[in-house]
Chain A
Amino acid sequence: MSLIQMNHVVKRYGSRVSVDHLQLRIEEGEVFGLLGPNGAGKSTTIKMLSGLLAIDHGEMIVDGLSVAKDPIGVKRRIGLVPQDLAIYENLSARENVTFFARLYGLRGALLKERVDEALEFVGLKERQKEKPGSFSGGMKRRLNIACAIMHHPKVIIMDEPTVGIDPQSRNHILESVRRLNEMGSTIIYTSHYMEEVAALSTRIGIIDQGRLIACGTQEELRAKVGKDEQIVIRAGQLSEPAVAELRRHPGIKQAIVNEDTLELLTASAQAYLQDILFVLARHQVKIQSLTQIEPDLETLFLSLTGRTLRD
C-alpha cells in the first residue's frame, strides 16, 4: 500500500477548478517532485494534504489515515515547510523550534534533544540564541525547515523552499532534502525550478491547470518526449508571419514566442534546421543566437502543454 494516496481529488474556488480529479500515489522513501508553473495547483494540493484546506471531492490518505476523517493523526505524520517564511521574528531561533516542537507534543529531554538535532541539521546551532531579524534570507529559510522536521515526520512537504535565496543557501537546502530522505522521511518537493526537481526527485509529477499531466521517473518522462529536440533562437525582431510559417511546417511540433526568443520543438534539429533558417531569412529575421537543447522536463512540459514552465 502506498504511503500517500490521492484519489480523484477536486478543489474549487467558486467556478474555478484549482485541482481537477487528481490521482496520485507516493511510495515510502521517495523524493517526489511536484513540478508545474505558478498557479498550476501545486500549493492547493499541498494545503489539502496538510489539512489546511478542505477537500471538495475525492480523498487523500496518508499512512493509512484519511486526511478528511483524521486530520490530527495525519498532521502528526507530516512536517510542512510552507512557501512563505512562517517563523516568529521576536523569538530566538531556538525558541521558534521549541515552540513548534511543544505543539507536536515533545517534552522534557526528548524535546531538548530534538531541538538541538534540528538546529544542528540546518546549521543554526551556533546562532540559536539570535532572533531571525539578524538572519540572512537563506538562514531564515533553513530555520523555516528546522521548525518542520524536529518531530521526525514520516512525510516532509516542502512547498517551494528555495524561493528568493542565494545559491549557497539553495545548495544547503537541497543537500538537507537529500539527507532527510536518507534518514527515512518521504519528501514531497514542489517547485517551478525544473533543475531542482530533476536533481532531487526519484519520481516527478507534472501538474498543470490542476491536472496531473505526467508522472514517473526522469527516464520515464524523457521517454514520453521521445526524440524531440528543442531549438531556442534569439532574434532582434520576430515577425508574426515568420512564426506562423514555422508553425505550419510539418517537422515543427511547437513554436513558442517569449519576447525576443523563439522556442521550437522538433523531431530532428539536424533535419529541419536549414528549413528553419531559410524561413527566418525570407522574413528578414536577424538571428542573434541559436541553441540546441537536449530533451528535458522543460521540453516535456512544452510538448504536453504548448507552454513553458516559466509562463
Chain B
Amino acid sequence: MSIFTIARYEITRMLRLRSVLIIQFALPLLLIFILGAALSGTFQTGAVELKPVKATLVTADTGPLAEPLATFLADPDIARLLQVERAASREEAVQRVRDAASDLAVIVPADFSGKALEGREATWEMVPGRNRERSVTAQLLLGAFLEEINVNQAAALTFGAPADPALRSGTDAASQALESVRVGSLGSDGAAYTATQYYAASMLVMFLLYSGMSAAISLAAEKEKHTLQRLKSLPVRGVSVLLGKIAGNSLIALLQAAIIIGATKLLYGVDWGESYGLLLLVCGLIIIVSMGLAVLGMLAAGSTKAIASVFQVLIVTMTFLSGGFMPLPAGWISRLGEWTVNHWGMQSMLRMMLGSDSAVIFHHIAMLSWIACGTLLAALVAYRKVGYRE
C-alpha cells in the first residue's frame, strides 16, 4: 500500500514540474516533427528521374571482353542514360572531363580481358567530373557492367561452366548457368519507412531513457532535500520508498510512450505497425532499462547535477551510435551501436512498422530483454551493496 501511495504522489509531483512536461512530452513531438520534415529527403524511396550523362571511354583492351562491353554500351536502356564518346588517349579523356564536356573519363587497360578471364583482379581507371551527382550516375551505370562480369565469372567458376563462352556471350550463357540462383531486388515489395517513422522510433527510445534521468534526479533530490530521512523514519520498508518512486516514474514513462505513439499517429500519420501489444512490450523493456540506469546513476553519481550530466552524455552517445540522429553507414560505428539499448529498441519498432517477419522482430525483442535483465540485475546488486539512504 505504501508503494502505491509513494508512486501516486511521485506522479503528482513530477507532473507539476514544468521541466518534466517539456522534456518528456512536448520536446519529443517537436523533434520528431522537425527531424522528420527536415530529413525526409534522406529517406526518399520513390522513383527518381535520371538525366542522361556523358562518359569518355579510352580502351586499349582488344581481348574477349571488348565485344561484351560494346554490346552493353549499345543496349538501348543504357544508351538512353549514358552517352559514350571514345577518345584516343587518357590525356584527351581527362581534358574533356576538365572542360566539363564529359562527366566521367573511363580508361580500360590493355590487359583487362586477360586478367578478368584468369580470375585475377582487373580494374578500370575512372576520373570523375565536377558534377558529383552526374559522375556517380555514370560510374553506377558502368559499374553495372563490371558487376555483371563478376557475377558471370563467379557463376561460371562455381557451376563448372566454361568461363570463356559464358563471358563472351554476355548474360545469355550466364543465365543458363545460373538456373539455381534467383537474382532479385531487395526491398522490391516497396516496404520502407519514412523519415517521420524513423525519428518517431528513435525519439521514443531516447525520451524513454530520459524518463530514467528524471527518475534518477528525483531519487537523488530526496537525499538533497532531506525528505528521504523523513520517509525512512516512517513505518515503511526501506525498499518500498525506492520501489514506489520507480513505479511512479515508470507509469509516467508509459504515459509518455502512449502520448508519443498516439500523437505521432494522429498528427504526423506515423504507422507503428499492427502489433501494439509488442510495441507496448518493447516500450516496457526500454522503461525497465531506463529505471535500472536510474538506480545505478543515482547510486553512482551523488548530486542531481552530476546525474543530469552523466545521463545526457550517455543518452546522446547511445542515440548517435545507434543511428538515432541520422542513419549511419555500415562500419565500426554502427557495429558499436549494436551494444546500445537504443539500437535494439529502435530496430524492434522499425521492424514492426515494416511488418517484418515475426522471427526477426522477436530476435530484436529477445536482445532487448537480455539488456533489460542485465540492467535490472546490476541495479539490484548495486542497491543491495550501497542502499538508498542519505
Contact = CB atoms under 8 A, between A and B. Distances in A.
B16 A104 contact: no
Contact of A87 (B9, B227, B389): B227
Contacts of B236: 72, 75, 103
Contacts of B230: 80, 82, 86, 100, 147-148
Contact of B233 (A50, A84, A88, A90): A50
Interface in B220-266: 225-227, 229-237
Given A80-B230, A86-B225, A147-B230, A72 B235 contact: yes
A51 B226 contact: no
Contacts of B6: 103
Nearest to B1: A105
B16 A90 contact: yes
Contacts of A52: 229, 232-233, 389
Contact of A86 (B5, B226, B235, B389): B226
Interface string A82-123: 101111111100010001101111000000000000000000
A70 B35 CA distance: 57
B16 A85 contact: no
Nearest to A50: B233
Contact of A80 (B5, B13, B233, B237): B233
Which of A50, A86, A104, A147 gathers the greatest number of chain B CB atoms within 10 Å? A86
A76 interface: yes
B47 interface: no
Nearest to A79: B233
Contacts of A4: none
Contacts of A104: 234-235
Given A75-B233, A103-B234, A82 B17 contact: no
A4 B9 CA distance: 33
A195 B231 CA distance: 31
Interface string B1-19: 0100110010011001100
B87 to A, nearest CB: 78
A92 to B, nearest CB: 10
B232 A51 contact: yes
Nearest to B6: A103
Contact of A103 (B5, B12, B16, B17): B5
Nearest to A76: B235
A87 B6 CA distance: 14
Given A51-B232, A90-B16, A102 B226 contact: no
A78 interface: yes
Contact of B13 (A84, A88, A147): A88
Contacts of A78: 233
B234 A82 contact: no
Nearest to B16: A90
Contact of B229 (A72, A73, A76, A82): A82
A50 to B, nearest CB: 5
Nearest to A91: B13
A76 B236 CA distance: 9
A99 B9 contact: yes
A89 B12 CA distance: 12
A72 B233 CA distance: 9
B9 A91 contact: yes
Contacts of A50: 233
Contacts of A86: 225-227, 229-230
A124 B186 CA distance: 71
A11 to B, nearest CB: 15
Nearest to B240: A103
A75 B12 CA distance: 26
Nearest to A85: B226
A122 B232 CA distance: 23
Contacts of B2: 103
B8 to A, nearest CB: 9
Interface string A123-160: 00000000000000000000000011000000000000
A111 B1 CA distance: 15
Nearest to B14: A90
A50 B234 CA distance: 9
The 5 closest A-B pairs by CB, nearest first: A86-B230, A84-B226, A80-B233, A75-B235, A76-B235
Given A50-B233, A82-B230, A99-B9, 14 more contacts: A52-B229, A52-B232, A52-B233, A78-B233, A80-B229, A84-B229, A85-B226, A86-B225, A89-B225, A100-B230, A103-B234, A103-B236, A105-B235, A147-B230
Interface of B: 2, 5-6, 9, 12-13, 16-17, 225-227, 229-237, 389
29 contacts: A50-B233, A52-B232, A52-B389, A72-B237, A75-B233, A75-B235, A76-B235, A78-B233, A80-B229, A80-B230, A82-B226, A82-B229, A82-B233, A84-B229, A85-B225, A86-B225, A86-B226, A87-B227, A88-B225, A88-B227, A89-B225, A91-B13, A100-B234, A103-B231, A103-B234, A103-B236, A104-B234, A104-B235, A148-B230
